[in-house]
Each structure stands twice: as structure tokens, then as C-alpha cells.
Structure 1
Amino acid sequence: MNNFASAATDLVKVYGSGATAVRALDGVTVGFRPAAFSAIMGPSGSGKSTLMHCLAGLDTATSGAALLRGTDLTRLSDTALTRVRRDRIGFVFQAFNLLPTLSAEQNVLLPVTLADRKVDRVWFERLVEVLGLSSRLSHRPSELSGGQQQRVALARALVTRPEVVFADEPTGNLDSRASADVLGLLRQAVREFGQTIVMVTHDDRAASHADVVVRMADGRVVEAVAA
């Protein structure tokens, strides 16, 4: 599994205990290629979001391994895991999760600011230009459309040049035109920046933009096919 950017090996996640225990992941083994756009699909309760959260270090597995370029996140201390999430992983969420009091530029640069690092202005300028945000950097989230807010969230996820970007239903709050724009930008991030993207979605149209679609049911992977 070391050849994959992100991978699960015999991953199990159980919520609760005893008679009320729910086995959200039931021995999942799957890998996601670097510099590719992968989609995870499945009905509600299939385990797709739980898998992504474990792979991204947002949730702890009951057993098995969650690998990021060979690093097993399940074996890291809380401090080391926080550092990995900050430095090596990007996140894009359905609800955008932008800070309302900050400008678009401040929101994009937030991961760099929190890490107390110097901003790579060349990379930042290229990123906002490709994402069409150059004229919106002084605007606050309330002054942006939903599609523009998701562009800011994507720029924030990419600004640290993470090894993997995890996107959880990134088009769920967008209309069809904005959804198509965001999916095109995710595709572009793979093509132009060599970014690895793993997206959870319930939408077949969104999944059609991916290179590979992993389908889940009842906590297991039932299919992994080229889109």
C-alpha cells in the first residue's frame, strides 16, 4: 500500500458497544493513487464518510491501518496527528467552513498563518488566479456566492500543497452551474498541480469527473472502477 497516496488496510470502525454497536467499516482495504481524482460513493450508511474521516485523521479507527504515503495515522500521537492534518492534508467540506470575519485572502492563508509559516506568494498568486479569485480576495464570505465560497475553501485546501485533499460532498450546497465549476476546478488541480483528491459524493454526475470510483455498501468496498 506504500505506492498509494492514501490507503486503508483491513480498516474497521465500530461505533458503540454490545447489542447497540454499529460496524461502520467492516475490514476495508482500498488504495487511492497519487495525482489522481478518486470518488467514494454509496448510499447513506454505507461507510463512505467514515472511511474518508479515518483516512484524513478526523476519526479514529477501531482496528486496521489508515495510511498517508505509508504513514499509519492510527499509530500517531494526538500531537503528531494534528501536525499531519495541518501540514500534509487538505480539506474541502460541503458547508465551506470559512471564517465569516476574515477576508477571502485571510481564509485562504489560514493554514499557513496557523502554522506560523512564511507565505509562498508565487504559489498563492498562481492558485488564486487559476481558481478565479484574484478580484475577490478582499471580500468576506457573506459577500461571495456559494460557488465563490467553495473556490476559497478549495484554495485554502491547496495553499499548503498537501499530499492529499479530501473533499466531503463539496458540491452538496451548490446549484448545478456552481457544482460543475467546482468539479472542473478539482479536475484542474489534478491535471495542473498533480494534486491527489479523494472525494465523497452521492451524485453520479459529480463522480463522473473522477478517474476512479470506489463504491461502498454496508461498510465494505463492493467495486472500484475507472470512471
Structure 2
Amino acid sequence: MAEAIIATDLVKVYGRGAAQVRALDGVTVAFGRARLTAITGASGSGKSTLMQCLAGLDTPTSGRVVLGDTDMTALSDRRLTRLRLDRVGFVFQSFNLLPQLTARENILLPAGLAGRSVDKARLRDLADLLGIADRLRHLPSELSGGQQQRVAIARAMLGRPEVIFADEPTGNLDSASSEQVLELLRTAVREFGQTTVMVTHDPHAASYADRIINMTDGQVAA
């Protein structure tokens, strides 16, 4: 299959009656393997809701999300949690590193939770690629924002996930660090064939993508 993940007729409704909000209104879209796709749109357009449904962090009201050959919307909560651990990686705006763990321990955390063995050679390769090989013993408080985000990218990539979801990955970074992180995401796609879906409000960040999906009022506008 050329597609890593496919959403079909996704609808997500919050609230009831007069307070009802239709965050996704029949979205059908596919994401190609080994490509960086940006999802853009104004606040309230549905871009973050779409990502959360694609990543299994939220359940659509109706419609389907298929990762590889797995219908995620048909999974129990337990199996969905396992799928996220084994087959999906996450990079968040706020880094989401545990402050009491070193960079290395943060990178290894998902593998430990999933009970997976760690490919030490891959960890070394990722640390070298991301420029954090000499920072692995440092706590997050001892790292710059850009370095923390690189640790988060290494954590997301270590298990060779089918898709990495990056939610505003440059939102808390200065311009220089933002450029470095975006270059690293592109390198991950180019060098490792890493399928990546990035939500961003920043047109410059979106310009790094192979493809841009623009959301308006819960629908794909362009």
C-alpha cells in the first residue's frame, strides 16, 4: 500500500443540542508512506481533532481510521493503547519529557512500557543524527528547548513506528531551533523513510512538508 494511514468519512461531534460542535464533518483523507504531511488551518478548523483521531488519542463519532491493515476505530481501549505503544510515535509542542529522567531514560521510556528490547545501535545512530549524543545523561532542565525536542524526536523514532504525529513541534522554540527541528523531521523522512504527520499553524513550518492539507470548518478545504 502507498498509504500509511487512511481516514474515511470521519465525523467528530462534541456536546449536545445548542452547544453541539461538529469538529470534523465527513473528512476523507489518506497519508502516504515515507512522506511528511502538514495539516494546517485556523484555530477551530479541526486540524488538531483530526490528528487526535488519526493517532488514536480520540475516538471519532463515526467513520473509520485504518493504520496499515488495522481498523483503529474497531479496537478496544486496551488494544488501542497497545497499538499506540507499538506502531505510533508522538512529538508534542511541550516536549512531554519526564523531568526526573535523563534524556536517555526519556528516550527509552516507551520501549520499557511496551516491554520491547532496545536496539542500542539505532539509539546511537539517532543520537548522532539528532546531535544529542553528548547530552544523553542530562536532565531535561539541563537542556535547551531545541535539545529537548530532539530528545522527543529520538523517543518517537526509536521503535520504528509506522507513523509519527507531531503536534505543533516548533511552537515552543525560537526561530533557529525551529529550523533545526524542521530539518531533522525532513531528514527522518528522507534517511529513514519515516512517515510523519505534522499539525502546524505556521506556514513556514508547513513549507517543509511534501504535502499540505488545509482544514476549514471541520473539512478538508485544499
Report the TM range for the smaller structure's normalisation: over 0.9
Q: One-letter code of the match for 2:192?
A: F
CA contact (8 A) 2:102 2:138 kept: yes
Matched with 1:115 is 114
Matched with 1:51 is 50
Hey, what's the Cα distance between the residues in 2 that align with 1:67 and 1:168? 20
Hey, what's the Cα distance between the residues in 2 that align with 1:205 and 1:53? 23
Matched, 1:83 2:72: no
Give matches, 1:130-149, under 5 Å.
130-149=129-148
Q: CA RMSD in A?
A: 0.7
Report the CA distance between 1:97 and its aligned residue. Answer: 0.3
After TM superposition, the structure 1 stretch with the greater mean CA deviation from structure 2, 198-207 or 108-117, is 108-117
Hey, what's the Cα distance between the residues in 2 that align with 1:67 and 1:89? 13
Matched with 1:19 is 18
CA contact (8 A) 1:28 1:220 kept: yes
Matched with 2:99 is 100
Q: Where in structure 1 are there 5+ consecutive unaligned residues?
A: none
Matched with 1:171 is 170
CA contact (8 A) 1:3 1:69 kept: no
Matched with 2:33 is 34
Q: Where in structure 2 are there 5+ consecutive unaligned residues?
A: none
Give matches, 1:201-212, under 5 Å.
201-212=200-211
Query: Where in structure 1 do 4 or more consecutive aligned residues deviate above 3 Å?
Result: none
Report the CA distance between 1:144 and its aligned residue. Answer: 0.1
Q: One-letter code of the match for 2:54?
A: L
Report the CA distance between 1:116 and its aligned residue. Answer: 1.9
Hey, what's the Cα distance between the residues in 2 that align with 1:132 and 1:83? 30
Matched with 1:222 is 221
Give the alignment's TM-score, normalised by structure 2: 0.99
Matched, 1:193 2:167: no
CA contact (8 A) 2:82 2:114 kept: no
For 1:121-143, what per-residue CA distance to the aligned partner results, in whole angstroms no more than 9, with x for missing partners? 11111111101110000000000
